[in-house]
Structure 1
Amino acid sequence: MKNRRIRIISDETIDFVPGLEENDLALANVHLFLNGKEVIFSREKFYKMINDRKNSFNTSQANPEDFIKVMKKFPDDDLIVLTVTSKLSGTYNSALVAKGSVKNRGRIEVVDSLSLSAGLGILALRAKELISEGKIFDEIINELNIFKHKIRIFLVLKTLDYLVAGGRVNRAIGFVAKIVNLKPVLEIRDGNLVVAGKMLLFDNLVRGFYDFTEKRAKSDKIFVLNNSMKDECSELKKLFESKGLEVMELGSLNPALGVHAGPECLAAGWISE
């Protein structure tokens, strides 16, 4: 029997990393709304418009029909579906419903990334590498379920208002941060967005964020990304490089996540050894 081709499917909360190209995977739509109307914006236009607080953005997760539409394109292939963390979105459940609904001849396995953004991109890149190495389907799934726990992401936001509004950060934390002008360092931990335990004065944001993350980084390769904080991100990159670390600068969060993080964000992450 001829081996089936293995394909990767994900959703539009993914951010691409070096080595991962758009034609390496197929994406289920995440729906972006401006003042109640569904829109499709470039990152540049989105971040320009979100700075105007008169614009009300929200998102709707990829639904089962979005995944079914993508899965049906590959009826004879084995499909690995990588979703944004189930702790912050119902996308994983949508993919499971879709899996049970399609009548593809190939196998379908849904993997909860327990991550988002570049973390999801890194997991997809690992899936691509394993496919290229000739690993069989079950080996790839097992490896991904181990590998996903090695991905670490920390971030700090200029304002927590967007996360509070979306119910992803406690209002009390947001209130304290605003009153005393302190910013908690947040972490994606086991799929949840949690306060990592240290507050930073915004005036010393880059140095403080670097000090916090550098001593925790158990890798010689770091990735950094930002929303509308290019100068700060470049400064952060230089600080990591001064320690002899290899740094990938990845750009901004996609709009599906930018709605919740807000217009100004700085993040760093790595794959733990």
Structure 2
Amino acid sequence: MSIQIVTDSTVQLTDEELATLPITVVPLIVRLGTQEFLNDGVQITNAQFLSHLVTDEELPKTSQPSIGQFLEVFDRLGENGDEVLCLNLTHFLSGTVNAARQAAEMSDTKVTVIDSLSIDRGLAFQVITAAKLAQNGAPMETILNAIELHRSHTEIYVFLNTLENLIKGGRISRAAGGIANLLNIKVVAELTDGELRVAARGRGKRFIRKEINELVDRIKTEAPPKVGLTHVDNLTQTSEIANRIKEALPDTQVTIHEAGPVISTYTSVGALAIEFYTD
């Protein structure tokens, strides 16, 4: 009997990681007007979605996978007696983990559902570690302890040109974001205990550059083994940051990711996330 790892499509995994590790991804749902797509990179690509995000008057809508989606996956993976560990994005940003929990109660498969209190590459850090341990035959308790270590040692910072979409989508309160929008102030948000909170505010691109430079300098000092960079149509700046980190820390794994529709919807064009794990 093996342990199969399940997660949702807000995770950022490389093609190699998906091909070599026992990971199944359940897609969230994206709605553009009356059209509905699975956030799986197939029904609608990141590039196609981005064109809608820029030109459509109505903000795209996202929703969690259905209980039925999770139930089908859990039942299929458990057909031969395997156990399932399901890791989902933080409940502060989506009801996905609750849908997974309801499906777990309905499934004949033994399923453990975990709220990662994370998202994006931060979620991936937990998922990859769980999958590698499962692949090597580690028991569930060992995997859960490793996940907890990653959760408590991962930092996520998001650099935003606007909070407008986060507020419209209900992912951050108007009280937290109202002043920033009123004054057209750039924002640094931090994921703290699973909740996205405004960490710093300032005017113009110079402020953002300063905040990024300070964070990169700290990363160089702390030398984390894993760094993930995710962007929304901001590859040039993201690549420059990646090169700086790689040059200073050649042994650190640095990955670059293009944000998918769910994350792009709320962070808007130009956003950049820096995520890293410290031992």
Q: TM-score, normalised by structure 2?
A: 0.87
Cα deviation, 1:98-152, whole Å, max 9, x if unaligned, reads 1110112xx2111111101111111111012212333112221232123222121
Contact 2:162 2:184 in 1 (8 A): no
- 5+ residue gaps, structure 1: none
Q: Does 1:170 align with 2:173?
A: yes
Contact 1:200 1:208 in 2 (8 A): no
Q: Does 1:7 align with 2:14?
A: no
Cross-structure match for 2:271:
265
Q: Does 1:209 align with 2:211?
A: yes
Q: Does 1:24 align with 2:22?
A: yes
Cα deviation, 1:230-258, whole Å, max 9, x if unaligned, reads 11112222343454464623221111222
Cross-structure match for 2:156:
153
Q: How far apart are the structure 2 equivalents of 1:102 and 1:253? A: 32
Cross-structure match for 2:33:
35
* Aligned CA distance change for structure 1 residues 240 and 181 (closer, same or farther; 3 Å): farther
SS at match of 1:38: strand
Contact 2:186 2:208 in 1 (8 A): no
Quick one: which amino acid aligns to residue 137 of structure 1?
M
For residue 205 of structure 1, report the CA deviation from its aligned partner: 5.2
Cα deviation, 1:205-250, whole Å, max 9, x if unaligned, reads 5532323423553333422121111111122223434544646232
For residue 160 of structure 1, report the CA deviation from its aligned partner: 1.2
Q: How far apart are the structure 2 equivalents of 1:253 and 1:192? A: 19
Query: In percent, how many aligned pairs have the same letter?
Result: 23
Q: TM-score, normalised by structure 1?
A: 0.89
Cα deviation, 1:170-194, whole Å, max 9, x if unaligned, reads 3244332234332121111111101
Q: Does 1:108 align with 2:104?
A: no
In proportion to residue count, which structure has more helix?
2
Q: How does 1:17-166 map to 2 (within 5 A)?
A: 17=14, 20-22=17-19, 24-39=22-37, 40-75=43-78, 76-104=81-109, 107-166=110-169
SS at match of 2:4: strand
Q: Does 1:219 align with 2:223?
A: yes
Q: How far apart are the structure 2 equivalents of 1:174 and 1:138? A: 40
For residue 18 of structure 1, report the CA deviation from its aligned partner: 7.4
Contact 1:111 1:145 in 2 (8 A): no
Cross-structure match for 1:229:
234
Contact 1:20 1:121 in 2 (8 A): no
Quick one: which amino acid aligns to residue 15 of structure 1?
Q
Quick one: which amino acid aligns to residue 29 of structure 2?
H
- Point out the more displaced range, 84-93 or 240-249: 240-249
Contact 1:49 1:55 in 2 (8 A): no
Quick one: which amino acid aligns to residue 48 of structure 1?
S
Cross-structure match for 2:40:
none
- 5+ residue gaps, structure 2: 38-42
- Point out the more displaced range, 201-210 or 252-261: 201-210
Quick one: which amino acid aligns to residue 94 of structure 2?
S
Q: How far apart are the structure 1 equivalents of 2:269 and 2:75? A: 36
Structure 1 residue runs of 4 or more that deviate by more than 4 Å after TM superposition: none
- Point out the more displaced range, 169-178 or 127-136: 169-178
SS at match of 1:27: strand
SS at match of 2:17: coil
- Point out the more displaced range, 138-147 or 198-207: 198-207
Aligned residues: 267
